[in-house]
């Protein structure tokens, strides 16, 4: 396949799956098996496109928080975003430096997809039995920060799924409110992770042979697709359940395990 077309497809896939609760890592791993493996720099930059997309979706919310910081409600919400990010950074950086992460190979990703899907079904059923609430407690703040670390350790978990569903289990039962908080926390988290990984790649000399045209195309595709995917998801979850995403994860995980050659 033409390299530019492959880059376009990978960028679109990243934008589509980064914020849907189905694991971008798992889908990119599968896709790159067919479309060809890409450099760490490529994977970092297309994730940055997804970050730009979520920033554009929430640009008005971000602006209102920034300009209304003197208001107690806005200041408290912004502080909770910062605190969740701080939890992720304080716990996640040592984890990364120590190399505590499962390999991004098919078997662990497949199991993470299946376990995550079951977790989503159980968590949503539990949340459905509780009163509707948009309150973000400090317990939820800490749990969301830790959930992002867990998602980083177990490729295929899905950062958005892990964080949204732990928030719902702990009482943030209004799905749009849970998604908004998790996505806003994800902006500084993903910017920091991408910047750190980019610096590592640059210092290791991994940028010298990059296909910059393909990279630019993939970045643009990830941004556009990510923007559309998030806008659609926010409308969807306002009136629908997460169950279809959960069953999709389980089905994909089982299909991957059944299709694995021995030793994968």
Residue 188: name the closest of 150, 159, 231, 224 by CA. 159
Greatest mean pLDDT among 17-26, 119-128, 223-232: 223-232
Is 203 among the domain residues?
Answer: yes
Q: For residue 171, give the DSSP letter.
A: T
Mean of pLDDT values over 239-247: 93
pTM of the model: 0.87
State the SS3 of 206-259.
CCCCCCHHHHHHHHHHHHHHHHHHHHHHHHHHCCCCCHHHHHHHHHHHHHHHHC
Residue 263 within any structural domain of the chain:
no
Within a domain: 180 = yes
Range scoring the smallest mean pLDDT among 32-36, 102-106, 128-132, 213-217: 102-106
Q: Does residue 144 belong to any structural domain of this protein?
A: yes
Give domain status of residue 78, yes or no: yes
For residue 132, what are the domain limits? 3-258
Residue 137 lies in a domain: yes
- Give the total number of structural domains in the chain: 1
Is residue 264 included in any domain, yes or no? no
């Amino acid at each position: 396949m033409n390299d530019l077309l492959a880059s376009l497809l990978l960028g679109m896939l990243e934008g589509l799956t980064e914020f849907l609760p189905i694991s971008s890592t798992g889908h990119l791993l599968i896709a790159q098996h067919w479309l060809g493996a890409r450099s760490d720099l490529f994977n970092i930059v297309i994730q940055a496109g997804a970050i730009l997309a979520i920033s554009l979706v929430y640009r008005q919310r971000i602006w209102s928080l920034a300009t209304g910081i003197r208001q107690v409600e806005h200041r408290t919400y912004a502080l909770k975003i910062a605190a969740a990010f701080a939890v992720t950074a304080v716990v996640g950086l040592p984890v990364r430096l120590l190399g505590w992460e499962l390999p991004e190979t098919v078997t662990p990703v497949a199991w993470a997809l299946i376990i995550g899907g079951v977790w989503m079904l159980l968590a949503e059923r539990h949340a459905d039995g509780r009163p509707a609430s948009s309150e973000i407690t400090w317990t939820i703040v800490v749990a969301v920060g830790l959930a992002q670390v867990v998602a980083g350790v177990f490729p295929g978990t899905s950062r958005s799924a892990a964080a949204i569903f732990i928030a719902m289990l702990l009482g943030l039962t209004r799905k749009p409110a849970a998604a908004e908080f998790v996505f806003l926390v994800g902006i500084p988290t993903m910017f920091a992770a991408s910047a750190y990984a980019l610096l590592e790649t640059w210092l290791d000399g991994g940028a010298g042979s990059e296909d910059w045209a393909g990279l630019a195309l993939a970045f643009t595709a990830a941004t556009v697709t990510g923007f559309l995917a998030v806008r659609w998801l926010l409308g969807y979850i306002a009136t629908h359940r997460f169950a279809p995403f959960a069953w999709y994860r389980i089905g994909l995980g089982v299909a991957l395990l059944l299709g694995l050659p021995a030793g994968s």
